[in-house]
Structure 1
Amino acid sequence: MVDGSNAPLANETIKLYVPGDKIDRNYTTDEQGTVWFSIDTTNFTAASINIQARHKSTEYCYDSNWVVPEYARDITLRL
């Protein structure tokens, strides 16, 4: 994970969530902004898996002048 200037974000909490399964875990980024994780798929029956990673929850305000930064939700998985 990197900030707007492409600098790594260390010691940030990432929540890893697999919808439909009982996987909901927190991980902490290392010095390079990377999180390493593994998922035991032994008992999975679906042909694919949907993994969601969240950094911080978004605060919502319904005011026309409210500005909230939004960042890409892409994730790179090295298998």
Structure 2
Amino acid sequence: MTEANFKKSLQAFIRRRPFKPFEVELVSGDRFVVEHPEALAHGGAVAVYISTEGDVKLFDSSSVSQLMDIADRQSA
């Protein structure tokens, strides 16, 4: 994912009102759900997410395949 698309997409998902959890799919095939907007910090091409269980995910634009609405994934 390009840096510009990464930033734009992350901001769009984080700023949704009401907030809805969304899924991050990495190019490795790994996936995780962002459950709360304040648990994710990003700047430039890098982001960090801390799950409710305390797991830390550090990722950047080049490692992200897609960001998707969980409802979209469940209906596919």
TM over 0.5: no
Q: TM-score, normalised by structure 1?
A: 0.36
Kindly name which structure, 1 or 2, has the bigger radius of gyration based on alpha carbons. 1
> Given the two structures, how large is their TM-score scaled by the length of structure 2?
0.37
